[in-house]
Structure 1
Amino acid sequence: MIKPTPCDHEHLAALVTAASTFSPCVDVADQWGTALAGVLVGGGRLLAAGNGGSAAQAQHLTAELVGRYRSDRRPFSAICLTAETSSLTAICNDYPGEELFARQVEAHGREGDVLVLLSTSGSSPNILEAARRGTACGLRVWAFTGPRPNPLADLADESLSVDADYTATVQELHLVGLHILCAALDRALGVIPARTREDLDGPRRTA
Structure 2
Amino acid sequence: MDEKRIREIFLESSEIKRKFAEEFAGMILEVARRIVEKVKSGGKVILMGNGGSACDAQHIALELVGKFYKVRNPIPAICLNANGALLTEIGNDFGFENTFVRQIEAFATEKDVVVGISTSGKSQNVIRALERAKEIGALTIGFTGEIGKSMKKYCDYLFVVPSSDTPRIQETHITLGHVLAQIVEELMGG
* TM-score of the pair, normalised by structure 1: 0.84
The answer to whether the 8 Å contact 1:122/1:153 transfers is: no
The answer to whether the 8 Å contact 1:128/1:151 transfers is: no
User: Which residue matches 2:7?
Assistant: 9
Gaps of 5+ in 2: none
- Structure holding more helix per residue: 2
Gaps of 5+ in 1: 1-6, 192-207
1:66-88 per-residue CA deviation (whole Å, 9 max, x = no partner) reads: 11111121112211000011110
Of 71-80 and 182-191, deviating more is 182-191
Shift, 1:148, TM fit:
5.3
Shift, 1:149, TM fit:
5.5
Secondary structure of the 1:141 match is strand
Shift, 1:50, TM fit:
0.4
Shift, 1:29, TM fit:
2.2
Secondary structure of the 1:110 match is coil
> Within 1, Cα distance between the matches of 2:89 and 2:108?
19
Q: Percent identity?
A: 32
> Within 1, Cα distance between the matches of 2:25 and 2:179?
7
> Where does 1:1-207 land on structure 2 (aligned, <5 Å)?
8-22=6-20, 23-147=22-146, 150-191=149-190
Cα 1:14–1:188 change in 2 (3 A) is same
> Within 1, Cα distance between the matches of 2:132 and 2:45?
15
The answer to whether the 8 Å contact 2:127/2:154 transfers is: yes
The answer to whether the 8 Å contact 1:26/1:177 transfers is: no
The answer to whether the 8 Å contact 1:25/1:162 transfers is: no
The answer to whether the 8 Å contact 2:58/2:82 transfers is: yes
Secondary structure of the 2:96 match is coil
Amino acid at match of 2:69: R
Secondary structure of the 2:81 match is helix
Amino acid at match of 2:71: D
* TM-score of the pair, normalised by structure 2: 0.91
1:35-61 per-residue CA deviation (whole Å, 9 max, x = no partner) reads: 211211221011100011100000011
**Superposition RMSD in Å:** 1.5
1:7-53 per-residue CA deviation (whole Å, 9 max, x = no partner) reads: 52232132122123112223322222222112112210111000111
> Within 2, Cα distance between the matches of 1:62 and 1:126?
19
Amino acid at match of 1:121: S
Amino acid at match of 1:19: K
Secondary structure of the 2:34 match is helix
> Within 1, Cα distance between the matches of 2:13 and 2:97?
32
Shift, 1:180, TM fit:
1.1
> Within 1, Cα distance between the matches of 2:111 and 2:43?
7
The answer to whether the 8 Å contact 2:143/2:158 transfers is: yes
| Higher alpha-carbon Rg | 1
Structure 1: which 4+ aligned runs deviate by more than 3 Å?
A: none
Amino acid at match of 2:137: G
Amino acid at match of 1:140: L
Q: How many residues align?
A: 185
